[in-house]
Amino acid sequence: MTADASAAIAWLWLAQAPPDAEQARTLSAWAQSNRVELIQPSNLVPATLTVDPALAGAIEAHLERARDAAAARDEDEVDRALGSAHNLLEAHAELPNAAWLLAEVERARSARWRRMRPALREEADRAWSRAEALDGGRVAGLGESDSTKHPLAAVLSIGSAPDEQAWLDGEPLPGGSIASRAGPHSLVVTWQGSPAWAGWIELPPGNSTLPLPVLNEPACSQADLDRAKATQSSVDASEVRCPRWVAVTAGLLAGSVRIATCAAGRCDALTDWQPPPVWTQQPTERKGTARWPTWATWSLVGTGVAIGAAVAVGIAAGQGPPRETKFVGGGLKTP
């Protein structure tokens, strides 16, 4: 940045009504006086996730293929189909029905461990218990066997953050604590209603605390500056992260504004700025016409004052106006 360049900083208007033309002119004069360029904050927000409903159909197709293979007692095909379904779910916990689909994958695995070789009863019971943790459990269907083991109780405490909402297994989580079941769960965090983070968590038995992932809007964005609030004489900006910005609100007099320069969460006191006098405005130039330089105007005014003063001094001393020399034929002649 050169010495003559203006620094570009974001500004936030804190009054309810937008600035009028006179207030805008006052703010522009303040910016010129402080050699800064005021820019509007960006509308950037944390990146959101794209939810593809077609993925749920692909997972259900793998489940159907696994059931058909189980009926044909094709263990390898069952394992391949369930593995494909599980891999898709691991990568896409943001699906609204991800927990329900994973529960069905676990139940299909439980049936596979019970009915096919090698028979693994412990694995079958564990898979059925994990399914119950995910969707709360259901009655065993045809070809399935229930388990005597059930997931232990768990209590989950989550933090809260502005603009964020947590969803556990497709259900919104209120702030504070919630009763659940030990085992796997899908967790989705939305930012202003859009999914911004998703993953699988393993909830242990008993009480546990889970801090939400930190989803910060970009510094100096509109969402960042909107956290500031104006009081009668100051600005509360404790949650703002923008390193340098300006808070502006309406002044007490017509056309005036109150301005505070801020650094992140700390702002100077609001200072009143009056609209500049009209005569200080630069005249509007017509396109294609030359502008009379300001220095020439002041030079002519100064010269006129000097000449007028000299004439006045001569008259006051009793002297008449200077005689005029005329050029005539035959030489000079003075009347």
- Which amino acid appears at position 223 of this protein? A
Please check whether residue 170 is in contact with residue 56, taking contact to mean a CB–CB distance below 8 angstroms: no
Residue with tokens 């009081």: 231
Per-residue tens of pLDDT for the chain, all 335 residues: 334 456 899 999 999 899 999 999 999 999 998 999 999 998 877 778 899 999 999 999 999 999 999 999 999 999 999 999 999 999 999 999 999 999 999 999 999 999 887 778 999 999 999 999 999 999 998 888 888 889 999 999 887 777 788 999 999 887 778 899 999 999 999 988 889 899 999 999 999 998 877 777 788 989 889 989 988 778 999 989 999 999 999 998 889 999 999 999 999 999 999 877 766 555 544 444 434 343 333 333 333 434 343 333 343 444 444 454 443 444 444 44
Give the pLDDT score at 159.
76
Asked which of 161, 184, 210 is the last residue of a domain, the reply is: 210
b/e map 170-208, b = 16+ CB within 10 Å: eeebeeeeeebbbbbbbbbbbbeeebbbbeeeebeeeeb
**Strand pairing class (245-250; 7-13):** parallel
The residues, any chain, with a CB within 8 Å of residue 34's CB and separated by 6 or more, are none
User: Would you say residue 173 lies in a domain?
Assistant: yes
In a domain, 305, yes or no: no
With respect to residue 335, please indicate whether it lies within any of the assigned structural domains. Answer: no
Q: Does 334 fall in a domain?
A: no
Q: Is residue 23 in some structural domain? A: yes
32 and 67 both lie in a single domain: no
pLDDT tens digit string along 74-93?
Answer: 999 999 999 999 999 999 99
Q: What is the pLDDT of residue 60?
A: 97
Q: How far apart are CA 42 and CA 31, in angstroms?
A: 19
Tell me whether residue 26 is in a domain. Answer: yes
Joined together, the tokens standing for residue 333 give: 């002649």
How many domains does one find in the chain?
3
The letter for the amino acid at 297 is: T
Same domain, 227 and 267: yes
Asked, for residue 237, whether it belongs to a domain, the answer is: yes
| Per-residue confidence (pLDDT) for residue 281, from 0 to 100 | 55
* Same domain as 58, residue 131: yes
Q: Find tokens 């696994």 and name the residue.
A: 66
Q: Are 29 and 62 part of one and the same domain?
A: no
Residue with tokens 């546990």: 208
Residue range of the domain that includes 197: 153-210
In this prediction the pTM is: 0.60
- Answer yes or no: is 28 within a domain: yes
